[in-house]
Amino acid sequence: MAKGASISGFPEWLPSERVVEQRVIDTLRNVFELNGFIGIETRAVEQGSSLLKKGETSKEIYLLSRLQEVGHESDTPIEDRLGLHFDLTVPLSRYVVEHSGDLAFPFKRWQIQKVWRGERPQEGRFREFVQADIDVIGNGDLPDHYEVELPLVMVSALERLREFGLPKATVHANNRKLSEGFYRGLGLTDIEGVLREIDKLDKIGADEVAKLLVEGCGADEAQARACLELAELTAADGKELSDKFDALCAKHDIASDSDAYVLARQGLDTLAMIVDEAARIRPGSVIADLKIARGLDYYTGSVYETFLDGAAALGSICSGGRYDNLASQGNKKYPGVGLSIGLSRLVSYMLHTAGAHANRVSPASVLVAVWNEADRSASNLIANQLRSRGIAADVAPTAAKLGKQIKYADKLGIPYVWFPADASEEGAQDEVKNIITGDQRPADAQSWEPDTVYAQQTVTVEA
């Protein structure tokens, strides 16, 4: 095959980097399962009609065509073609409706899978990446308490990832109803439009957003500035949130008995519950931050973004919210709440910024040396004895000079090299050498154990 070439936006890890990604995945799975989430995997493709329905990413879909169909793709309407999923929420909604009879509700699920976005290559963004999601889906209704529990599960998961170099994470929460009520109270009607522009605040700044609100969302200058004031509001507890919000409503003449205020208050009460309950369980892990808007338009209540201390440039690394209308079947609704970690970006940060790295490339603790090819069976036997006791072992690729065999172990980071006894020598014993410490001693494949510190492939962070 000709020399391969990397494809922009499709990251691939080297073996030692993959160790870090795999540990991150294992850790997340462990936390999700400890919390009673059920693992599923959905097919990589969905019908175009499903993919096109919701969300701003609908323009970044990869559609599929069979080789035989090339040139005739247009014969099939896009809605009937297959496309790669761009997130794990749309597939979950479809899965829940399709299998509702076989699921127990509320259905708590975790899912770690690749997703694809057909972005323009030149942007340097990932077009293939791994997401790690948790969601809970109700049948008909879904209690509010999941809106605080799910971000807290993610916080505990991200806390566990600090051993791989991740800084402390803080969830910033808002509620769509709070924003909508306030905007309506100001007299605005293009709620989705306002949310979409507010979502750009961190990227383009307040003045640009104000301009967009005036130009595209029917706001006058005062209304635009009021929206921005709301977006500046943050609070660490429900009382502070409530006081600041009411002061803002008073300033902008939003009457506390208006429909708009009532809607906003509904959102505010949920948000206050979330920050207060989170503070009880994990102080400082969740704050109210009213600029959080989430571009995707399927959210209907709580919305979350998560930021890492000292890594603002990364943006939100774990986002989500409550969506009451994504899945339905006839009269039946399946409201949900969930969050998604952008895992590939996180691993990239760990590797390239935090200095996380595997202690060795190979999972093997031991390389069994081979004195000559005729004796390879003896070395294989030793390796199999070690493996049967759970000790990962490799066998030297060739009966090269011993120095070359040790160099192979060293290159793979394998800490021990095993020297089989010379079969021609009476009473000769196997020996094992730790090539890191130089320590060498007699050993029996039926009972020897590696020192704990050298037993496992691990990930450490540079000091």
| Numbered residues of the known binding site for L-histidine | 87-89, 117, 131, 135, 294, 298-299
> 72 or 239, CB closer to its own copies?
72
Residue in 124, 283, 390, 427 binding its own copies, rule: CB under 8 A: 390
> 52 or 214, CB closer to its own copies?
52
Which span (234-242, 255-263, 304-312, 385-393) binds its own copies, by CB under 8 A?
385-393
The distance from CA 227 to its chain's CA centroid, rounded to whole angstroms, is 31
Question: What is the nearest approach in angstroms of its own copies to the Cβ of residue 317?
Answer: 20
**Contacts with its own copies, 274-313, as mask; x by CB under 8 A:** ---x--xx--------------------------------
Number of residues that bind its own copies (CB under 8 A): 106
In the range 56-115, which residues lie near its own copies by CB under 8 A?
Answer: 58-68, 70-71, 73-74, 78, 82-84, 90, 93-95, 97-99, 102-104, 106, 108-109, 114
> 377 or 429, CB closer to its own copies?
377
Enter the DSSP assignment of 336: E
List, in order, residues 6 or more apart from 347 with CB less than 8 Å away: 13, 17, 20, 21, 24, 130
> 254 or 278, CB closer to its own copies?
278
Question: What is the nearest approach in angstroms of its own copies to the Cβ of residue 409?
Answer: 10
DSSP strands (E only) in 253-389: 286-289, 302-308, 318-323, 328-329, 332-333, 336-342, 356-358, 366-368
List, in order, residues 6 or more apart from 280 with CB less than 8 Å away: none
Residue in 116, 307, 416, 419 binding its own copies, rule: CB under 8 A: 116
Tell me: does residue 423 bind its own copies (CB under 8 A): no
> 148 or 287, CB closer to its own copies?
148
Q: Work out the widest C-alpha separation in the chain, in whole angstroms.
A: 98
Tell me: does residue 455 bind its own copies (CB under 8 A): no
Question: What is the nearest approach in angstroms of its own copies to the Cβ of residue 382?
Answer: 12
Instruction: Give the DSSP H/E element, type plus range, for residue 95.
Output: helix 89-98
Alpha-carbon gap, residue 133 to 113, rounded angstroms: 9
Tell me: does residue 123 bind its own copies (CB under 8 A): no
Question: What is the nearest approach in angstroms of its own copies to the Cβ of residue 411?
Answer: 4
Question: What is the nearest approach in angstroms of its own copies to the Cβ of residue 33?
Answer: 4
Tell me: does residue 266 bind its own copies (CB under 8 A): no
> 122 or 257, CB closer to its own copies?
122
> 281 or 453, CB closer to its own copies?
281
Class of residue 151 by CB neighbours under 10 A (exposed 0-12, middle 13-18, buried 19+): buried
In the range 13-32, which residues lie near its own copies by CB under 8 A?
Answer: 13-15, 18-19, 21-22
Tell me: does residue 224 bind its own copies (CB under 8 A): no
Q: Is the dihedral of CA 276, 235, 89, 155 positive or negative?
A: negative
C-alpha separations of 435 from 111, 380, 412, 429 in Å: 40, 20, 12, 19
Closest CA to 227 of 267, 181, 160: 181
> 65 or 446, CB closer to its own copies?
65
User: Strand pairing partners for 393?
Assistant: 366
Q: Write out the binding residues.
A: 87-89, 117, 131, 135, 294, 298-299
Tell me: does residue 251 bind its own copies (CB under 8 A): no
In the range 136-165, which residues lie near its own copies by CB under 8 A?
Answer: 143, 145, 149
Residue type, 248: L
Residue in 228, 314, 378, 412 binding its own copies, rule: CB under 8 A: 412
User: Strand pairing partners for 108?
Assistant: 136
Q: Are 130 and 114 in contact (CB under 8 A)?
A: yes
Q: Are 29 and 134 in contact (CB under 8 A)?
A: no
Closest CA to 194 of 232, 235, 223, 171: 223
Residue type, 305: E
Residue in 20, 24, 45, 219 binding its own copies, rule: CB under 8 A: 45
Judged by DSSP in three states, 432 sits in strand
Question: What is the nearest approach in angstroms of its own copies to the Cβ of residue 247?
Answer: 30
Q: Are 334 and 97 in contact (CB under 8 A)?
A: yes
Q: Are 180 and 186 in contact (CB under 8 A)?
A: no
> 181 or 415, CB closer to its own copies?
415
> 142 or 195, CB closer to its own copies?
142
Tell me: does residue 182 bind its own copies (CB under 8 A): no
The distance from CA 279 to its chain's CA centroid, rounded to whole angstroms, is 23
Q: Are 279 and 148 in contact (CB under 8 A)?
A: no
Residue in 205, 284, 310, 397 binding its own copies, rule: CB under 8 A: 397
Tell me: does residue 329 bind its own copies (CB under 8 A): yes
